[in-house]
Amino acid sequence: MRITITTAGSRGDVQPYIALGLGLKDAGHEVRVATYAPFEGFVRGCGLDYHRVTGDPDVVVSDLLKAGLNPIRFARAFRQFFKPILELNLAEYQEACQGTEAVIYSPVGFYGNYIAEEMRIPAVGGAVQPLFDRTHRFPSSLLGRPPDKLPVKGPLTGFYNHLTYFAAEQVFWQTMRPIVSEVRRQLNLVPLPFFGPFTAVNRNRPILCGWSPSVLPQPPEWRDRSSTTGYWFLDRPGWRPPGELVDFLESGPSPVSVGFGSMNDVDSEEVTTLVLEALRRTGQRGILLAGWSGIGNIDLPDEVFKADEVPHEWLFKRVRAAIHHGGAGTTAASLRAGVPTITVPFFPDQAFWGWRVATLGAGPEPTPHVKLSAERLAEKISKATTDAEMRKQAQLLGEKIRAEDGVSQAVETFHRYVRA
């Protein structure tokens, strides 16, 4: 079967779908990934076909960072990004889907869903965080973490959780409705209702949910149309660490890793100074992951090592704790490694994962980046590196996640969906 995956956004919005694509390729399918040009080498280097889509992941992240943790501003930022390149992106995704027999679309690559509808071929959604599939078990990640005073369980919590999906649906639908309506008009599809497609969508659409059931258990009300498969990890077994990094790791106690992924709109000098002070206060060694987050170039003490891109699956199992932004993929990697996770969220979905980590006992409560200080970070590091129960819970959760095979489960579920 020829399959096209439509996705966009930052690396964290693309990498899981490459892992899924490789699983589909191993199952005998021809897989093409349609996404932004900066990821072409990444996609092709993994052995998948590629189709170019106009867009800059760095700009996407920068624009969304201005919205912060406010879901309404977050939704508006999405519309402002998509609107000027609507027709161009639609044509590019259409071209990518020519000759395909099924489409897998991410939330950011949602055009693929409507193109598949116009082509009358199967379309399967893929998500790495809960968005619009209603449940009483946990809230929509688009609204971030629940209120602090809300109990973990109970009727009030269930009501709140279910309500968040209605809120998320309408915040994003009413914001994106003009763009979706124009896409459907150009594809000669029937217009959607004023309040959106969600009633029918929740009843009919198949969704692959790429997170661990040990982190978010499968809600019974989803039945068979939304399937929690496990995480979609992309491991790179042939990667070799630089000698300097190996020497640093072997020269003393396990360090704490610090990196904020694609979050590129931070004051790198200020953040680096803050992190160094927190490490000094706690007496911990550290590894600063540069990447797109732009860790500053100030002089580092001997106890701190600055590294460029290092695969999380290699690094996290060698550290005492992992500090990061709480992105879905990075959180999955640190949880799988079985180390305490300290989250500093920039976006609502990152606040959601930080809340979930703390609820599971695998890390301290998250600290939003706007409230980050050396004192607060030092407090989190101290707890993550000395709390025996937290370390035990992180290790147990890591064992459960390592026993799962999310990609294989997703491929099996995809086959069931498209052949139903």
pLDDT of residue 261 exceeding 60, the answer is yes
- Average pLDDT over every residue of 212-234: 93
Give the pLDDT mean for 340-360. Answer: 94
pLDDT grade for 297, boundaries at 50, 70 and 90: low
Please give the angle made by the CA atoms of 183, 135 and 207, to the nearest 5 degrees.
45
More confident residue, 296 or 162: 162
Q: Is the pLDDT of residue 414 over 80?
A: yes
Pick the range with the lowest mean pLDDT from 150-159, 179-188, 387-396: 150-159
Mean pLDDT of the region 79-106: 87
Nearest Cα residue to 400 out of 338, 352, 344, 354: 338
pLDDT of residue 199: 65
Q: Is residue 55 very low, low, confident or very high in pLDDT (cuts 50, 70, 90)?
A: confident
Confidence label for 292 from pLDDT (cuts 50, 70 and 90): very low
User: Looking at the predicted structure, is the pLDDT value of residue 78 above 70?
Assistant: no
- The average confidence (pLDDT) of the chain is 89
Structure tokens at 403: 């026993």
Q: Higher confidence at residue 260 or residue 57?
A: 260
Residue 105: pLDDT band by 50, 70, 90 thresholds? very high
pLDDT average, residue stretch 12-18: 92
Closest CA to 414 of 272, 214, 210: 210
Q: What is the mean pLDDT of residues 107-128?
A: 94
E strands, 45-122, where? 49-53, 102-105
Whether the pLDDT of residue 190 is over 80: the answer is yes
Confidence tier at 62 by pLDDT (50, 70, 90): low
Short-list 10, 247, 242, 194, CA closest to 106: 10
Confidence of residue 291 (pLDDT cuts 50, 70, 90): low
Average pLDDT over residues 341-355: 93
In order of start, what are the domains of the chain with their CATH numbers?
2-231+404-419 (3.40.50.2000), 243-402 (3.40.50.2000)
Check residue 326 and report its DSSP letter.
Answer: -
Is the pLDDT confidence value at 79 over 70?
Answer: no
Asked if pLDDT for residue 145 goes beyond 90, the answer is: no
pLDDT of residue 125: 95
Within 10 A of 411 (CB to CB), how many other CB atoms are there? 21
Q: What is the pTM of this model?
A: 0.91
* Residue 388 confidence (pLDDT): 97
